[in-house]
Amino acid sequence: MSTSSIEEPTSGSPDGRAPGRLPLLEDLPELAGRSVLVRADLNVPLEPGPNGELEVADDFRIIAALPTLQWLLEQGARVTVCSHLGRPHGRPDDRLRMDPVRRRLAQLVEGVELIENLRFDPGEEANDPEFVRRLVEGHDLFVNDAFGVAHREHASVVGPPTYLPSAAGRLLAREVEVLEGLVQGPERPFYAIVGGAKLSDKLGALQVLASKVEATLVGGGLSFSLLAVLGHHIGASLVDHEKLDACRAMLDSGRRVVVPTDIVGLSPGGTFGRGIKPTGEVRLFARDLPEGWTGLDIGPETAGRFADEVRGGATILWNGPMGAFEDTRFATGTRRVADAVAASLGFTVVGGGDTVEAVRSFGLAERFDHVSSGGGAMLELIERGDLPGLFALRESFRRRS
């Protein structure tokens, strides 16, 4: 049983006051014998094992949660972990049950309970107060160590701090320390490399970064919107027509935004992607693509230029691959950039699920100073300066101080 009853939540900062500092594990009350609910990000890939049973394919995120869990256990706390897995859309899905994660977690740390997938209940993504009450029932304290969802106003992220004394776990605190440092006072020269597919997800952060760095190097699918603004033919490549005016304003701002000078393209009707048989012709082009061709990687000239740019960087931030690296025909640009950043003597930060997957597949993850556990959260923190999950923790600490 819990040693404390659930308090009614208080409202968050209606007077517009700035929240206080981010509370850390050491700010929690006495932990011995108390029940701690930990929001972790254990959204890991699963695959069938030798006996056909699903098992964890990559335990990177589970391992990342261990420092917080082990510290809490050492203080004598009873620890219950909660996490989402995949996108079950508010209903149970046997393919996304936490059993494989629970088995792997038990192999790595003893004495930790893991409850079922949070997103099996529609109340999680709807931030339903009743779901929050059920979630925190029986717990005395809350720890958020899930940076990857700290930008989501979900029940398990922003709800518990309104009821329980709360703190940031080791992983979350380190992410905030590193990323706020990049925005507020990075060592110079500071370079940003931004890639990936969706411009709409990254434009805000891209604009902020462009105002703070010596140069922003843009590759991947989102570079084609910039090339289109510059008057180049992009064939069938990705373009966000609704964001072209914002792209034009950024390019006209006088800030250094470096776009590809050569592109690796795939012929019309060609196929690519994970688990798909690759087909079609692959060619190297300058900035203009023929009708129907799709740009899927930066070319060698661009990769070399990007590598030259970052070589002398004191701080380098990279979010988003340079192409469809999961297809070996379009992995060279991402690999060359990864090699260049890994070889840098500056402080290097990489984030975003696909980017982290790429550097890990290349065997380079250990050569980066910080590998972020959240791509969307990273970009939103850079763009907005705060996240709903962080604000909830700060407000909880301010109210109880």
Topology (CATH) of 188-345: Rossmann fold (3.40.50)
- Determine the Cα–Cα distance for residues 340 and 359; give it in Å rounded to an integer: 12
The answer to whether the 25-169+386-400 and 188-345 domains have the same CATH topology is yes
Mapping DSSP onto H, E and C, the string for 96-161 reads HCCHHHHHHHHHHCCCEEECCCHHHCHHHHCCCHHHHHHHHCCCCEEEECCHHHCCCCCHHHHCHH
- Determine the Cα–Cα distance for residues 263 and 294; give it in Å rounded to an integer: 9
What pLDDT does 17 receive? 46
- Determine the Cα–Cα distance for residues 338 and 333; give it in Å rounded to an integer: 9
In sequence order, the 6+-apart residues with CB closer than 8 A to the CB of 320 are 193, 194, 195, 196, 202, 219, 220, 222, 352, 354, 355, 375
What is the DSSP-derived secondary structure letter of residue 52? S
If you count DSSP H runs as helices and E runs as strands, how many of each does the chain have, helices first?
14, 16
pLDDT tens figures, 11-34: 334 344 455 799 999 999 999 999
What pLDDT does 219 receive? 97
In sequence order, the 6+-apart residues with CB closer than 8 A to the CB of 377 are 147, 148, 149, 150, 151, 175, 387
What pLDDT does 19 receive? 52
The answer on pLDDT for 7 being more than 70 is no
Q: From the centroid of its chain, how far is CA 83?
A: 15
**Angle, vertex CA 243, rays to CA 222 and CA 201, nearest 5:** 55
Question: For the CA atoms of the chain, what is the radius of gyration?
Answer: 22
Q: Shortest CA distance to 367 belongs to which of 300, 301, 318, 298?
A: 318
What pLDDT does 281 receive? 97
The answer on pLDDT for 215 being more than 60 is yes
pLDDT tens figures, 269-315: 999 988 889 999 999 999 999 999 999 999 999 999 999 999 999 99
In sequence order, the 6+-apart residues with CB closer than 8 A to the CB of 147 are 41, 171, 172, 175, 176, 372, 373, 374, 377
In sequence order, the 6+-apart residues with CB closer than 8 A to the CB of 115 are 80, 81, 82, 98
pLDDT tens figures, 92-134: 999 999 999 999 999 999 999 999 999 999 999 999 999 999 9
- Which of the two residues, 2 and 307, has the higher pLDDT score? 307
Handedness of CA 99, 82, 70, 386 (dihedral sign): positive
Q: Shortest CA distance to 115 belongs to which of 81, 156, 91?
A: 81
- Determine the Cα–Cα distance for residues 298 and 316; give it in Å rounded to an integer: 19
**Angle, vertex CA 339, rays to CA 311 and CA 310, nearest 5:** 20
- Determine the Cα–Cα distance for residues 330 and 384; give it in Å rounded to an integer: 33
Domain residue ranges in the chain: 25-169+386-400, 188-345
Q: From the centroid of its chain, how far is CA 77?
A: 29
Percent of residues, the chain, with pLDDT higher than 90: 83
What is the DSSP-derived secondary structure letter of residue 18? P
- The architecture (CATH level 2) of 25-169+386-400 comes to 3-Layer(aba) Sandwich (3.40)
What pLDDT does 74 receive? 98
| Coil, helix or strand at residue 76 | coil
- Determine the Cα–Cα distance for residues 310 and 249; give it in Å rounded to an integer: 25
pLDDT tens figures, 40-89: 999 999 999 999 899 999 998 999 999 999 999 999 999 999 999 999 99
Peptide bond into 14 cis (omega under 30): no
